[in-house]
């Protein structure tokens, strides 16, 4: 990273500094280098306050990929492309089928109750907007963000179109929930999609049609344009490096497996702990380096470690005592 985030001695985010300046501060003992879920920053030891300039975060929502750009008038500090959480609806449907099956088998069960309060947000919709909010809160802990600019997703009801209205009303409810949460942390600006496209064309930038590619032009180009509309600055970014963020699909504790095993037994399945570590935690292993914790081997005492870049399982037999805990996380990241 050309510019490194800076935290004051009290933990308050200050203006980022050049990487050479950050190395100098660490070398002189005036700061210590740290990591926050893949982003290197320095924590000052002798400075509690400092002047900050307006910083904006552009957010380009998407059905499968989303773009985030942190920039000031002079520099583009960070580009993040995140994968959307799109599996919650399927999990809710499987849970419903299993619950109905238990009721048909005369299995003891609690009395049926509503999943959420009247007027609440469907779990699949809320999970998508919660990821956007978590990413913004993560960035706000490192950068002095004062403005959040979001491309507004317009969804309106249509008279006599029941199926259309059912599909889009949760989107509007989730968007309103997200906007109210963002307004508590920064000033909120919204623009329509056609406004973003007009500004992008005026700046001479092009957007890739390959929506699933790990290219800056796929999504971060729009998040850059959104931030530039409000904060100003050059029409060509000085930083196109990206941090790819992939949410982890963890298997939470279930009552039992979906299908009976040997002898007709449905054993317990899933969990949130592996060898004393919360699943998804980042650890450092002497052989496998920095990776994240997956499942655990039943009766063997080993835990699974996975690559932060690919998500591929590296080993199933890592000893918990050999892993040095780094942080809790619900995603993996890598630079491109």
- Is the domain of 177 the same as that of 302? no
pLDDT-wise least confident of 4-18, 104-118, 247-261: 104-118
- Is the domain of 192 the same as that of 319? no
Of the candidates 326, 311, 325, 312, the one whose C-alpha atom is nearest the C-alpha of residue 37 is 326
Whether 115 shows a pLDDT value over 80: the answer reads no
Instruction: Report the C-alpha gap between 34 and 41 in whole angstroms.
Output: 5
Q: What is the DSSP string of 98-113?
A: HHHHHHHTT---PPP-
pLDDT digits (tens, 9 = 90+) for 263-285: 888 887 777 888 889 999 999 99
Which residues, in sequence order, are CB contacts of 183 under 8 Å at separation 6+? none
Task: Give Cα separations from 10 to 7, 43, 141, 210, 336 (angstroms).
Answer: 8, 9, 12, 43, 32
pLDDT digits (tens, 9 = 90+) for 129-157: 999 999 999 999 999 999 999 999 877 77
Q: Does 114 reside within a domain? A: no
Out of 247, 277, 294, pick the residue that ends a domain. Answer: 247
Q: Does 243 reside within a domain? A: yes
- Is the domain of 30 the same as that of 127? no
Task: Give the domain CATH number at 81.
Answer: 3.30.420.40
Which residues, in sequence order, are CB contacts of 280 under 8 Å at separation 6+? 248, 250, 292, 293, 328, 329, 330, 331
Question: What φ, ψ does residue 303 adopt, rounded to 5°?
Answer: -125, 155
pTM score? 0.87
- Is the domain of 169 the same as that of 194? yes
Of how many residues is the chain composed? 336
pLDDT at 274: 86
The number of folded domains in the chain is 3
- Is the domain of 148 the same as that of 179? yes
- Is residue 227 very low, low, confident or very high in pLDDT (cuts 50, 70, 90)? very high
Percent of the chain with pLDDT over 90: 56
Which residues, in sequence order, are CB contacts of 74 under 8 Å at separation 6+? 233
Specify the residue for token string 């095993």. Answer: 261
Q: Does 99 reside within a domain? A: no
Mean per-residue pLDDT for 309-321? 92
pLDDT digits (tens, 9 = 90+) for 9-55: 999 999 999 999 999 999 999 999 999 998 999 999 988 888 889 99
pLDDT at 114: 67
Domain span including residue 303: 250-331
Provide the mean pLDDT of the chain: 88
- Is the domain of 323 the same as that of 284? yes
pLDDT at 296: 83
- Is the domain of 277 the same as that of 228? no
Q: Does 307 reside within a domain? A: yes
Tell me if 283 sits within 8 A of 277, measured CB to CB: yes
> Residue 179 is encoded by which pair of tokens?
């906007």
Out of 217, 247, 277, pick the residue that ends a domain. Answer: 247
- Is the domain of 131 the same as that of 215? yes
Mean per-residue pLDDT for 195-220? 91
Tell me if 266 sits within 8 A of 256, measured CB to CB: yes
Q: Does 112 reside within a domain? A: no
- 125 versus 182: the higher-pLDDT residue is 182
- Is the domain of 268 the same as that of 242? no
């Amino acid at each position: 990273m050309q510019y490194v985030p800076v935290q004051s001695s009290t933990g308050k985010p200050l203006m980022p500094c050049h990487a050479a300046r950050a190395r100098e501060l660490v070398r002189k003992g005036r700061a210590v280098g740290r990591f926050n879920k893949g982003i290197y920053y320095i924590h000052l030891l002798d400075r509690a306050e400092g002047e900050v300039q307006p910083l904006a975060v552009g957010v380009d929502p998407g059905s499968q990929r989303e773009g985030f750009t942190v920039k000031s008038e002079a520099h583009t500090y960070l580009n993040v492309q995140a994968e959307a959480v799109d599996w919650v609806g399927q999990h809710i449907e499987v849970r419903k089928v299993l619950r109905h099956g238990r009721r048909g088998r005369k299995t003891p069960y609690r009395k049926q109750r509503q999943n959420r309060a009247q007027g609440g947000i469907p779990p699949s919709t809320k999970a998508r907007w919660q990821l956007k909010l978590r990413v913004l809160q993560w960035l706000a802990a490192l950068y002095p963000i004062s403005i959040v600019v979001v491309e507004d997703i317009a969804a309106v009801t249509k008279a006599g179109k029941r199926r259309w209205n059912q599909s889009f009303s949760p989107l509007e409810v989730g968007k309103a929930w997200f906007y109210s949460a963002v307004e508590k942390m920064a000033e909120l600006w919204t623009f329509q999609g056609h406004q973003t496209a007009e500004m992008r064309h005026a700046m001479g930038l092009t957007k890739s049609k390959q929506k699933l590619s790990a290219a800056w032009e796929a999504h971060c180009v729009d998040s850059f344009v959104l931030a530039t509309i409000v904060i100003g600055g050059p029409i060509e970014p000085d930083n196109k490096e990206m941090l790819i963020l992939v949410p982890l699909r963890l298997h939470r504790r279930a009552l039992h497996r979906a299908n009976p095993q040997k002898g007709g037994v449905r054993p317990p399945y899933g969990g949130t702990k592996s060898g004393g570590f919360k699943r998804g935690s980042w650890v450092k292993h002497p052989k496998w380096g920095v990776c994240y914790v997956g499942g655990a081997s039943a009766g063997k005492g080993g835990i699974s470690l996975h690559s932060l870049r690919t998500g591929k399982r590296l080993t199933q037999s890592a000893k918990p005592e050999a892993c040095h805990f780094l942080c809790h996380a619900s995603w993996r990241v890598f630079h491109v």
